[in-house]
Amino acid sequence: MEEGNPFDADDTPSFRTPPLPDDRLWRHPSELGHPLAALAHRRSSWPVAVASGLTGAVLTVSLLAVSGVLMSRSDPREVVVREAVRSAVATVGGNRPTPDVEKIVRATEPAIVRLEITGDDESVGSGVLFRNDGHLFTNAHVVDDARKLVAVLSTGRSIGAHLVGLDARSDIAVVKLDADGPFPTAMFGTTDGLGVGAPAIAIGSPLALRGSSSVTVGVVSALGRELDSAGGTRLYDMIQTDAAIAEGSSGGALLDRDGALIGITSAFAVSDLGNGGLGFATPIDIARSVAEDLLTVGHVRHVWLGVTGKASADGGGVVLDAVNASGPAKKGGLRSGDVIRRVDAQPVATMSTLRVALLRRHPGDRVTLLYDRGATRHTAEVVLAEHP
């Protein structure tokens, strides 16, 4: 959203720690004997050298909705790619072994499905099973006009499916297979601690090709990317990778070096010179939050702070143009002219970075805002609300 919109900082999906074991919507595959459980050694954190400040560089590209084509579903959209929070300058330390790609693919491929969509036209996409009862992730743009869905498993079995719900702001949808399980599932990971330069493996069903899934290998090229489409949808905090993502792979899996799911592939970008190796994925942390809301309350609850603003003159905060009279910020004591510097421990310098700082929050969560009023520094505890 553009600066000046009253909700452009906070109308995005949030993140909440999964419920306790007795009532979780899903189980971690390690609890179910997942074939990758022994392979996955959770990283503590990758050493990341972050570029000082935002680069301000803007790259104009054509974003292709990677839904694939059976008849005609090519959907190029002009986008702007800009840095959001974390820049693509980083180093990866340690002597981690090379990923066992073959083993990872053998374990994960059964959870990858090809989606055949009948809507305004016929098209294909990909999906990733995340619950053994047949729930899967895909992209919202893949199924947004679907009247009929058929999922083709890695075994070649075709199963009817239906849309549970979708969220255009994150480009995530949840689909349910119309058959009894159990079905194989992907192993959940997280983008917390993920570093630029870390290995990335993409698995999907590109170009409506029959047979097994296609696998490409690359690295995490950047984190915190922001995509603006001509259609008005803005995607935040995206993972950029050079692992090739082709038409039809949209909705597929992006995996880390341990074979854990870190993203749902969404799009690739091309310039006048061609593809350029730019692929993007929605972080799995956001996808899980969207799925949790869709499966528990039937819609996605977007958090709301209730402010508008612009970057401060010193580039180190957000000057508030307006504070909604009934919004959480107002209740926390903020007013027009205040300069927000941090959300909890995360610095914010633009409305975009303020929004990203709230991405993983949930309505009802408490955050601490560090802000300046004139020459005096203050803190305020704010309880985030659901977007009206």
Catalytic residues: 141, 171, 250
Angle at 296 between CA 387 and CA 9, to 5 degrees: 20
Token digits for 83?
A: 């840095």
| Contact indicator for 79, 235 with CB cutoff of 8 Å | no
Token digits for 25?
A: 């919507």
Nearest to 205 by CA among 170, 258, 156, 160: 156
Preceding omega of 182 cis (within 30 degrees of 0): yes
Nearest to 13 by CA among 157, 140, 129: 140
Q: Please, what's the largest Cα pairwise distance for the chain?
A: 66
The helix or strand, by DSSP H or E, that contains position 159, with its residue range, turns out to be strand 158-167
Contacts of 271 (CB under 8 A, 6+ apart): 59, 60, 61, 62
